[in-house]
Amino acid sequence: MELIQDFKDEHPDIYEFIMFNIFSNIATITNFAVLNLSKSIIFRSLMDVNFNWWIFNYSAAKGGLGGFLAFFFAYAAAQIVNFFVQREIVFKSESKLSTGLILYFLTVGFVYIICLYVPTLIMEPLTEIFGSLLATNITNGVNIMIQVALIYPMLKFVIMKDDKAENNL
């Protein structure tokens, strides 16, 4: 344990990023569970229903309305879990909860649009190569990488920013 504490003391930002990724796995597990449950059971009857709205073109080959709803609810569930896990465990943020929630949901709203659009680009070709189940999970993995790349910097530098540390400088 002393080795971990020494690493944390010497490299606090790297340690924090590692912890962010470790604890993001709680949200990732939530995401995959909701996605697969939604796609295989809850929205199964909607997989063949074409859905086309704004930039979202979910033809039956791309998962249809069921696929859109599955990705939508999986992402929502994961981000709700992620906010509280990151706030309490990783960042130990004492920032104002209401402000943090507003900024977080604006951030994830932006990322949401991207992550709901990505399946329209890659689901069909991936399904042709790997089949529906694996294509769904590969697509979800791509979305999770996008989420980490966009959400971590916002959490660290804006949403969970330690105002007390800045005031002590």
The domain segmentation of the chain, as residue ranges, is 1-92, 94-163
Q: What is the H or E stretch that residue 51 is in? A: strand 51-53
Task: Give residue 165's pLDDT.
Answer: 52
Task: Give residue 64's pLDDT.
Answer: 93
Q: At residue 57, what are phi and psi to the nearest 5 degrees?
A: -115, 90
CA distances from 157 to 36, 68, 152 (A): 33, 31, 8
Query: Which residue matches tokens 């906010």?
Result: 83
What's at 94, amino acid-wise?
E
Written as six digits, the tokens of 57 are 């073109």
How many C-beta neighbours within 10 Å does residue 44 have? 12
Task: Give residue 152's pLDDT.
Answer: 93
**For the chain, which ranges sit under pLDDT 70?**
162-169
Written as six digits, the tokens of 12 are 């606090």
For the CA atoms of 116, 121, 122, 125, the dihedral, rounded to the nearest 10 degrees, stands at 140
- Verdict on whether the full-model pTM lies above 0.85: no
What lies within 8 Å, CB to CB, of 93 at 6+ separation is 87, 100, 159, 160, 161, 162
Task: Give residue 164's pLDDT.
Answer: 56
Task: Give residue 76's pLDDT.
Answer: 92
| DSSP character at residue 52 | E
Name the residue among 62, 70, 76, 65 with its Cα closest to residue 37: 70
